[in-house]
Every structure is written in C-alpha cells, then in structure tokens.
Amino acid sequence: MKPLADIILEAVETKQPKNVKDLIELVQKQAGDVTVAEITAEIKNLQHKQLIALESPESPTAPSPEELKGSLVSRMNAWFWITLTLTALTFVSVLLVPADAVPLSYLRYLFGFIFVIFLPGYCLTETLFPKKDALDIIERMTLSVGLSFAVTALVGLLLSFTPIGLTLPTALSALGLLVIALALVAFGRKYMLNKQQSIIAVK
C-alpha cells in the first residue's frame, strides 16, 4: 500500500475535495484501516511541510441542503444517530416494557442505565469539545460519565421544584429533550468546525 502522505497528496490533486472532512473520507476509502486521527495528523504534517495549503474562510456560508444531507449520512457523524437511537430505545423500553417482564425488563435496565449514566454527559462533552483532538478517548468517556451524573442530578433537582414534580415520565422526558437538544447543538458545532478549513492546492 502507498504511504499515507502519498495517498493524501494524490487525493487532493485528483479529487480536489472542498474541505478537510471530504479529504479524510476520500483517504479512508483508499487507505482502508487507517484511523481518522492518523489521517488528520498526516494532513497537519503535510501542512507543516508546506506541501498542502489550508485556509480558513472569513465567514462560513450557510449549509446547502445537499451539504447538510451529506454531513448527516457521513460516518463521522454516526455518533449523532447512535445517540438518537439509544434515546428512542430508552423511551420505548422504559415506558412500554413492564419491570417484571423478564427477560425484556433487562433491556429496560440496560438502556435506562446508558441513558442516565452516559448520554447527557456525552452530548454535553461533544458540545463543549467538538474537535476530535481536543480530548482523547479516555478523557472524553470519563468526562461524559462525570457530567452525566451532574446533569441528571440537576434535572432531578429542578423538576422537584416544579408543579409537575419528579416522576419517572417527567424525568425521562426532561432528560430526553436535553439529550436531543445537546446532540443537535454538538452536531451544528462539529459541522461548522469542519467547514472552517478548505483545501487550496498541493504545492
């Protein structure tokens, strides 16, 4: 297989991707098992060697429907659909599966555990740190769990002071809306971040 640097330079010259995100996807198709982090590091290395020129647009334009659709189905945004799917499965399992309906009740506890202990903090972490290299995987997962405890406790505290009170349906609904809102904000931040750098040319 060709060296990763040669694959990147060839992709820039022949395919002329519009941005770094498109370049990474092209390289992944050709390089196979190379990770996004490795490709990103090599792009930065080529930029440092002045073999690739990058620029940041002064004012990113609003996304077109085609660009937005392409971003939604991109493998890099699989986390967004996984988050929505887990949220939906949690609602279905908790609200529709009785607690004594063994073995289906195990799914209720599994999805509920993931939903409460991980998803709120994960979506908040993705919102606060949209760059992939801002945190490593261990830091991102640890922060997600820690923030989930804080967010869940805060939501429960706030609900207890409202007229609707703190019940399973109200807590589930409040956390679900919060997770979806944070996921949408994180998706938007990541999308705009990916548009900030455009590939100019191979020098």
Q: What is the pLDDT of residue 1?
A: 67
Measured distance CA(143)–CA(124) in Å, rounded: 9
pLDDT band at residue 199 using 50, 70 and 90 as cut-offs: low
Residue 175 has pLDDT above 60, yes or no: yes
Apex 49 CA angle, 46 and 52, nearest 5: 50
Residue that the structure tokens 């820039």 belong to: 12
Q: What is the mean pLDDT of the chain?
A: 84
Q: What is the pLDDT of residue 96?
A: 86
Tens of pLDDT, residue by residue over 58-100, are 545 555 666 666 666 777 788 999 999 999 999 998 888 877 7
Q: Which residues pair with 110 in a beta bridge?
A: none
Q: What is the pLDDT of residue 12?
A: 85
- 3-state class of 51 per DSSP? coil
* Contact in structure between 191 and 63 (CB atoms under 8 Å): yes
Question: Is the bond preceding 98 in cis, omega lying within 30 degrees of 0?
Answer: no
More confident residue, 122 or 54: 122
Tens of pLDDT, residue by residue over 153-173, are 999 999 999 998 889 889 999
